[in-house]
Structure 1
Amino acid sequence: MAAGSGEIWFYHLERSTLDQVLPELLDKTLQRGWRARIRVADPDRRAEIDDTLWSWRADSFLAHGQADQPHAARQPILLTAGTENPNASQALFIVDGSDMTVTEEFERCFIIFDGRDEAALQTARDRWKALKGQGANLAYWKQSDEGRWEKAA
């Protein structure tokens, strides 16, 4: 993502898991009236996220689909490994070290990484430095001791 584009928010997971945080962020995104894409490189992890979104809460789910399935353009949330944007999403969620290219068309990009994984932490640091050097509009979020998200940079 280049300077002058939308916001890029880094979410540093320390106390919660992706499966706990991602549905909450997606729900807030939909409440904002935006569509979302989740870029996940690993097909097994994509299937896990798919299951999580269908069973997010006992009384609720997050409607979504896969980019390679019919009617992808109609989905409010789309899971994909690629860079295409068939559902015209305003929000892009990048998880598990997935591809960072083609992010300029989004209002907000969320980079969610596990701070307990040294490789993921280093990748996030490298991404932050590179994007900062390009003048990107960045924010860094971490969890407080009480589990709330706090903007740290």
Structure 2
Amino acid sequence: MTDILFYHLQNQPLERVLPVLLEKSVERGWKVAVEAASPERVEALDALLWTYDDASFLAHGTDREADAAAQPILITAGPGRANGASVRFLVDGAPLPEDAASYERIVLMFDGNDPDAVDRAREAWKVARAGGHACTYWQQDETGRWSKKA
């Protein structure tokens, strides 16, 4: 059974939240795949992870690079995981992977200010629960802290 975490973004954009969650994943020793909706978005996230903090960066690469298998964080626009990731982040409406059960954890991040994104997340919740996965729902408070709501 895979843990599937639904992160409801309301008070901070993905670009502020994703790097923090990726840092925590790497600190735990997890290999991560981040699936975005398009090759252009992969490029934008690639640039973000090099520049989001002047004091640090997250070692990562994209699935187009020759050393993709060696990357602790791999950004992709498709279902692959050349780096053998045990954790997958889904952003920009990326769907639950068909091989969801092969992951230790999946983190689905969605924009709470976008009604279509909320509807897609609700549908993904139903599919994940029906598949026997352990689902949790996380929401930000006014200070940006996450609290478990379900």
Asked if Structure 1 and Structure 2 have the same fold, meaning a TM-score greater than 0.5 normalized by the shorter chain, the answer is: yes
- SS of equivalent to 1:63: coil
Whether 1:126 aligns to 2:126 is no
Query: How far apart are residue 135 of structure 1 and its match?
Result: 2.4
2:46 to 36, 45, 50: 50
- State which drifts further: 82-91 or 54-63: 82-91
Ranges in structure 1 where 5+ consecutive residues have no aligned partner: none
- State which drifts further: 118-127 or 131-140: 131-140
- SS of equivalent to 1:104: helix
Ranges in structure 2 where 5+ consecutive residues have no aligned partner: none
Alignment match, 2:26? 30
Structure 1 runs of 4+ off > 4 angstroms? none
- The share of aligned pairs that are identical, in percent, is 41
CA RMSD of aligned residues (A): 1.0
Indicate conservation of the 8 Å contact 1:41/1:99, yes or no. Answer: no
Q: How many residues align?
A: 149
Alignment match, 1:40? 36
Query: How far apart are residue 146 of structure 1 and its match?
Result: 2.0
How does the TM-score come out when normalised to structure 1? 0.93
Alignment match, 1:141? 138
Whether 1:90 aligns to 2:86 is yes
- SS of equivalent to 2:122: helix
2:70 to 60, 70, 74: 74
